[in-house]
Amino acid sequence: MTKENLKIVFMGTPQFAVESLKTLIEEKYNVVGVVTMPDKPIGRHQTELSVSAVKQFAQNHGLPILQPASLRDEAFLEALRKWEADIQIVVAFRMLPEVVWAMPPFGTFNLHAALLPQYRGAAPINWAIINGETQTGVTTFFLDHDIDTGNIIRRVPVPILDTDNAGNVHDRLMHLGAKLVRETVDAVIEGDLHTIPQQSLAEETKLHTAPKIFRETCRIQWGNGVKRTYDFIRGLSPYPAAWTELVYGGRRQVMKIYSTEKEFSTHQFPTGTLHTDGKTLLKAALPDGWLHIKTLQLSGKRRMDINEFLRGFHPESGMRLE
């Protein structure tokens, strides 16, 4: 078996997946087709269609594309069978039914943006940072009946710096993951696969999960203290973004916060109290110190750094965040 005759079907949707597909195409692997999500209607009248990043790349490179609404649809399954894939690769896509993942003779492997068995689920990058982890990574594993539980093929660790946010960790893992996908395909071609059951690793430590993040998940709890709140904000930055409510002058306005700096200190101010010099400083009181807000966005406004925000904002006494 060579990379020229190993038939690959690639499944993915967002930009994170594009880097892996791009690596396979640029290095002349035999990608015979791409499966991605259906186009989404957008705009006020839902008359325009938004296409996935993976579809855009596939179109630009003349790759055959399938966009099933249902992965159990018989017409889709028949079209998929006709590609006669030897192996399927999944990066940031939906959960596959067995009729799909068991189809190729070499099976289907997934790239996951965490060191499995840690952070199984939809949002591993966000939750690793929110939980204050100092290390994450990427894992390739074979799909089985449950979500993110199949035998591990390879793992590569990556440090998380205290200044990192979800955006730059995402980009780091995207590029490293593409390299790992290529290495995993090479291992399949060379017959050099030595998988590890996740259960053998799961017994060593407490496992954290990475469930889907909803809007209410992103609300800041100012009583959690400086470190936990700092990690929470950077773990949701730049998307979907942590938010709170700015309360001033009898009004409430949603504020998204993208970056902060920590200050551990003792004070007597109620949690959520805001202090500002009206120029370059806006900080919120927490039980064990302050968070200096550096980048934010008020509802209906664009994202701004703190200097720009304070130039157009008139602070009032009694301002607070809730």
Dump the DSSP string for 99-141. Answer: HHHTSSTT-EEEEESS-TTTTBSS-HHHHHHHTT-SEEEEEEE
Q: Do domains 8-202 and 216-321 have the same CATH topology?
A: no
Fill in the amino acid letter for 170. H
Q: What are phi and psi of 10, to 5 degrees?
A: -105, 135
Q: What is the full per-residue pLDDT of the chain (322 aa) written as tens digits?
A: 899 999 999 999 999 999 999 999 999 999 999 999 999 887 766 667 899 999 999 999 999 999 999 999 999 999 999 999 999 999 999 999 999 999 999 999 999 999 999 999 999 999 999 999 999 999 999 999 888 889 999 999 999 999 999 999 999 999 999 999 999 999 999 998 999 999 888 776 889 999 999 999 999 999 999 999 999 999 999 999 999 999 988 899 999 999 999 999 999 999 999 999 989 999 999 999 999 999 999 999 999 999 999 998 887 778 999 9
The pLDDT, as a whole number, for residue 147 is 83
Task: Give the amino acid at 128.
Answer: A
Does CATH place domain 216-321 in 3.10.25.10? yes
Is 8-202 assigned to CATH 2.102.10.10?
Answer: no
Q: Can you tell me the distance from the alpha carbon of 33 to that of 11, in angstroms, rounded to the nearest whole number?
A: 9
pLDDT on residue 45? 66
The tally of CA atoms less than 13 A away on the side-chain side of residue 207 is 20
Distance CA 272, CA 217 (A): 19
Query: What pTM did the predictor assign?
Result: 0.95
List, in sequence order, every beta strand (DSSP E) within the chain. Answer: 8-12, 31-35, 40-42, 48-50, 65-66, 87-91, 108-112, 135-142, 152-159, 242-248, 251-264, 274-276, 282-286, 289-298, 304-305, 320-321
Q: Where are the domains of the chain?
A: 8-202, 216-321
Q: How far apart are CA 24 and CA 58, in angstroms?
A: 12
> Quick check: helix, strand or coil at residue 183?
helix
